[in-house]
Structure 1
Amino acid sequence: MSGAPFDADGLRAAGRDLAVPFQVQLTDGRLLQMQRLLRLLPGKRIAGEASLDGRRVFAKLFVAKAGERHWQAESEGVGALAAAGIPTPEVLLADRLQGGGHVIVSSFVEDAESLAAGWARLDAPPAGDPGALEVLAPVLAMLAQMHRAGLAQRDLHLGNFLRTRDRLLVIDGDSVTVAAAPLSAVAAAENLGMLLAQLPAAWDGAAPALLADYQSAGGIAGVDAAMLCAAIEKVRAWRLQDYLKKSLRDCTLFSVVHSTSRFVAVLRTESERLADVLAVPDKAIDTGLRLKSGNTCTVAQVALPGGDVVVKRYNLKSVGHALSRLWRPSRAWHSWREGHRLALYGIATPAPLALVEERFGPLRRRAWLFAEHCPGVSLARHLSPESPPPAAEALALTTLFALLCRLRITHGDMKASNLLWHAGRIWLIDLDACTQHRSEAAWRKAWRRDRARLLRNWPADSVLAAWLDRALPPA
């Protein structure tokens, strides 16, 4: 390992430019060797796998000058968990760093998987899926134990739980709150709602059953289904707005570069893979497989390492059209936000990967949207007008549109080619006109248009059109 060891000043100055492995000087003279970074908040916090005295450990570095309170909160939170008998990794060292920072080193949990990773492997399980319930059941039991002890987490999510072959552990002591034991019903409902709000919105109907599992494990008895559902709705609304704001600013999840001539937002995990095509997006379109050539947009499928990407360029078809778009957010901008909105609700849509806008100061010109490629087949080709849809497709259709209507979301262009059947789900593409309506009246008016357009994809006297007319929510 080359290079001088870092102190807190050096870690703050490095920002995101930290290449592993690197060493950190501890106050007792020992060297902590950081091997793999799992979280990096530039100038503030660094967490990851490390080695100390030849032992594999997990290290959290608090390098901000005002980071002492987070370090203290982490130490106190882990202590509160341990005192309540909640399994959590053992703290091996809690100390200051040279240069004004702090460090906490804990034992490394071997052969462990976060429950967030376990959930992701299930690949969007339907509500009530047995495999998904197996993931959730131990978390609900752990929350019941924490709530009885007066403990909760401010930033509760599945990534805060590690599962080994024979036990479940809670991590992230920094977000642990301590109250009089047991928690009040209101506090317990809010904390449980924070977790369940992160499940796909289609799981909302399973909330009463999940609440029953929580209470059967000793959870707070005063929590009822109405309280829990209200908490889920409140937290999800906050998470949605927070996430949509993050999608347009530089943060842990997104890399955003804004100049007088360009605006670029990209998923940080995709920034390196997409770097070349983001630099010259027209070249990617010219060399890719052309899917659509039109006055208002041009679409191409581009082969890249790690999977194909669909690039959609929003053209300016005339001087008048260009002038009309100068001050308004581009359709790419709108599709970028709506794609993230649908994904957060658990509605299948190709993941939006990057957004590029040409700018002239505050004025907007052409724009490009980059999304993952969905290899599905359009419903126009997949469904026969002479028969009802097969059982799986029928369930997917009724589930999707019931959820869209409950959330007051309309697509705006319900051509059958904009609905793809893939991996047992219906995927929505072309989100240029997708909208979540604030009022019931606005949604109902738009839903009538969406519903009528969907039915027009097949002959009015066809079996499929008649089935859809019966199965879809009423206009």
Structure 2
Amino acid sequence: MSDESAYALLSADVTIHHQDRLALCFFSRYDSPMLRQVLAHPDDALKDPDCEVLKSDRTTTVGVISFDGRRFVFKRYNTKNTWHALRRALRRARAENCWNFAPRLTALGIATAPVVGWVQERIAGLKSRSWILCEHVAGPTCASVLSDDSEPAVCDEILEGITGILLQLRQNRLSHGDLKATNILLVHNRPVIVDLDAVQTHISAAACERAFKRDCSRWLKNWREQPEVKARAIKQLRKAGLVNGD
């Protein structure tokens, strides 16, 4: 078991259940007949007419579903072709990565969508598709809020919060790996990081620094067409001692 898996298991009671080709894992505090139904039949949940599909392509399918009086985001990681399936079979499932790192980020004070459970499909003993279920976070994306027309004080407040997250990640030798502005939700102008598929722990300081620079570069790339926002973002990074210039 990986260190991250052990961390997740120590964070709360976890229920693990096997059904046919699927392995279901979820935090016991969410346990209910409906939760078990969703995780045991994940494709049906995403095909349900009441599912609000947010994204569906060769890589992922994402939908908002409701049960037990609450809303959840359910994401399936698809296999694009046979070669892709074989490569994924040899690596940790992306859903498992989200499951492992969400509690860890929360413990560090980094807000993220609370994970509920995840599912691993195996075919002939090999890992295939996987699903992650998270609580729904109600809030706009950073991309839809920040622009050169934003109120300067609001813009700086949001950018300062995101800079703080980057600082926390770096101090703990972590990287997000996909800091698109659409992967940052805002709740009362406070950032909530989602899509933890590519989060990594780095053993060496050098590897962490390379990943951190990629995170910063991707973060600033969001604002290529918003020069005022980009300038303010760079100012916040420089103020925190994270960059020397643009």
Question: C-alpha distance in 2, partners of 1:322/1:282?
Answer: 18
Question: C-alpha distance in 2, partners of 1:455/1:257?
Answer: 42
Give the C-alpha shift of residue 262 in structure 1.
Answer: 2.1
Question: C-alpha distance in 1, partners of 2:72/2:25?
Answer: 16
Establish whether residue 265 from structure 1 lines up as the match of residue 30 from structure 2. no
Give the C-alpha shift of residue 409 in structure 1.
Answer: 1.8
- Match of 1:308, SS state, is strand
Q: 1:370 aligns with which of 95, 114, 133?
A: 133
The equivalent of 2:180 in structure 1 is 415
The one-letter code sitting in structure 2 at the alignment partner of 1:469 is I
How has the CA–CA distance of structure 1 residues 331 and 389 changed in structure 2, closer, same or farther, with 3 Å as cutoff?
A: farther
The equivalent of 1:474 in structure 2 is 243
CA deviation map 1:303-358 (0-9, x unaligned): 12231010000111101111112232211111111112212222100011111011
CA contact (8 A) 1:386 1:462 kept: no
The one-letter code sitting in structure 1 at the alignment partner of 2:206 is A
* Identity across matched positions, percent: 33
How has the CA–CA distance of structure 1 residues 434 and 279 changed in structure 2, closer, same or farther, with 3 Å as cutoff?
A: same
Larger Rg over CA atoms:
1
The one-letter code sitting in structure 2 at the alignment partner of 1:411 is H
CA contact (8 A) 1:260 1:361 kept: no
Aligned 1:384-399 pairs, distance under 5 A: 384-386=147-149, 388=152, 390=154, 391-399=156-164
- Match of 2:70, SS state, is coil
How has the CA–CA distance of structure 1 residues 389 and 459 changed in structure 2, closer, same or farther, with 3 Å as cutoff?
A: farther
CA contact (8 A) 1:297 1:315 kept: yes
Give the C-alpha shift of residue 395 in structure 1.
Answer: 3.5
The equivalent of 1:328 in structure 2 is 91
The equivalent of 2:113 in structure 1 is 350
Question: C-alpha distance in 2, partners of 1:322/1:276?
Answer: 26
CA contact (8 A) 1:386 1:464 kept: no
- CA-based RMSD of the aligned residues comes to 2.4
Establish whether residue 245 from structure 1 lines up as the match of residue 10 from structure 2. no
Runs of 5+ consecutive residues of structure 2 not aligned to the other structure? none
How has the CA–CA distance of structure 1 residues 351 and 461 changed in structure 2, closer, same or farther, with 3 Å as cutoff?
A: closer
Question: C-alpha distance in 2, partners of 1:419/1:447?
Answer: 17
Q: 2:102 aligns with which of 332, 339, 351?
A: 339
TM score, norm. by length of structure 2? 0.86
- Match of 1:397, SS state, is helix
TM score, norm. by length of structure 1? 0.46
The equivalent of 2:219 in structure 1 is 454
Question: C-alpha distance in 1, partners of 2:90/2:159?
Answer: 42
Establish whether residue 254 from structure 1 lines up as the match of residue 19 from structure 2. no
The equivalent of 2:167 in structure 1 is 402
How has the CA–CA distance of structure 1 residues 279 and 395 changed in structure 2, closer, same or farther, with 3 Å as cutoff?
A: same
Runs of 5+ consecutive residues of structure 1 not aligned to the other structure? 1-239
How has the CA–CA distance of structure 1 residues 253 and 467 changed in structure 2, closer, same or farther, with 3 Å as cutoff?
A: same
- Match of 2:47, SS state, is helix
Question: C-alpha distance in 2, partners of 1:461/1:305?
Answer: 41
Superposition misfits of 4+ residues, deviation over 6 angstroms: none
Establish whether residue 277 from structure 1 lines up as the match of residue 42 from structure 2. no
Give the C-alpha shift of residue 432 in structure 1.
Answer: 0.8
CA deviation map 1:232-278 (0-9, x unaligned): xxxxxxxx94x7316359x9611012467221110101121512211
Aligned 1:117-136 pairs, distance under 5 A: none
The one-letter code sitting in structure 2 at the alignment partner of 1:305 is D
CA contact (8 A) 1:278 1:356 kept: yes
The equivalent of 1:441 in structure 2 is 206
Question: C-alpha distance in 2, partners of 1:252/1:400?
Answer: 24
Question: C-alpha distance in 2, partners of 1:397/1:420?
Answer: 11
Return the structure number with greater relative CO, CA threshold 8 A, min gap 6: 2
CA contact (8 A) 2:175 2:211 kept: yes
- Match of 1:269, SS state, is helix
Give the C-alpha shift of residue 452 in structure 1.
Answer: 1.0
Give the C-alpha shift of residue 286 in structure 1.
Answer: 1.1
- Match of 2:31, SS state, is helix
- Match of 1:443, SS state, is helix
The one-letter code sitting in structure 2 at the alignment partner of 1:371 is C
Give the C-alpha shift of residue 361 in structure 1.
Answer: 5.7
How has the CA–CA distance of structure 1 residues 395 and 285 changed in structure 2, closer, same or farther, with 3 Å as cutoff?
A: same
- Match of 1:369, SS state, is strand
Give the C-alpha shift of residue 450 in structure 1.
Answer: 1.1
